[in-house]
Amino acid sequence: MQQKPVIGIIGCYREFEGEPTHVVKARYVTGVREYADAVPVILPGFATASDAKDVLARLDGVLLTGSVANVRPENYGGPINARGPFDPHRDETTFALIDAARKLGMPLYGICRGLQEINVALGGTLRDQRDQSEHAVAHHAPDGVGLEEMFAQSHEVDIAPGSNLAHMLGAGHVEVNSVHYQMIDRLGDGLRVEATAEDGVIEAIASRDGWPLLAVQWHPEWRPEERPHHLRFWSDLGEVTRAFLARKLMAGQRAG
């Protein structure tokens, strides 16, 4: 039987039942296990740079999930009155993981906050749609609605010609759910735009230098069976991490 890749899923640091916990929503774990056909491992949000290197030595890929918490403005020179909640434990962990993954050339995939973390870690900045007086596209449902209504909020995105997404999806545009307030302002170093919304908001990014990195602003883990391009996100994650694992195994065999 072919060995499955092991994918680390970042956890958020939150209080539960009166004490701190490290949590990951089950739909991300299901995405890795069922749709990427890989082994999910939850990564606690308190790794230092040295921890990150040791952790990645045991993995074949990393998934940075969405979260209710925003990236702290101190990390990208944002406004001091930026809206929370924040998760500094996760911030520190993801930045360390991103740096270590880049040095190793390890597959790194991001969803929503994960895209924003990657952009900030590579020198980019963020902005908040709620700070704009006008916007062409609503990127988040009204506050106070349930999950069904929240994830029903959707719009089309245009896929950049010749991009990884264009190769993956074979389409000029797709409809995606939209559950975010923060978004990319200045693009990080070494990144390219893979998709944009009608109002110009960057909806997907990849690396320009061959590093297997893909991040989307939407949520492909939410009922992926209802949208083929969401399923394709997960199958691509599985394919890329299996290829990375195969290269590691071959290198080990040659070394032996």
Residues labelled as active-site residues: 112, 219, 221
> What is the helix (H) or strand (E) element at residue 61, kind and residue range?
strand 61-64
Residue reference for tokens 């074949």: 60
Contact present, 56 and 250 (Cβ < 8 Å): no
3-state SS assignment for residue 126: strand
Closest CA to 164 of 199, 218, 216, 123: 216
Contact present, 151 and 211 (Cβ < 8 Å): no
Q: Are strands 108-111 and 182-184 parallel, antiparallel or unpaired?
A: unpaired
Whole-angstrom Cα distance, residue 150 to residue 140? 7
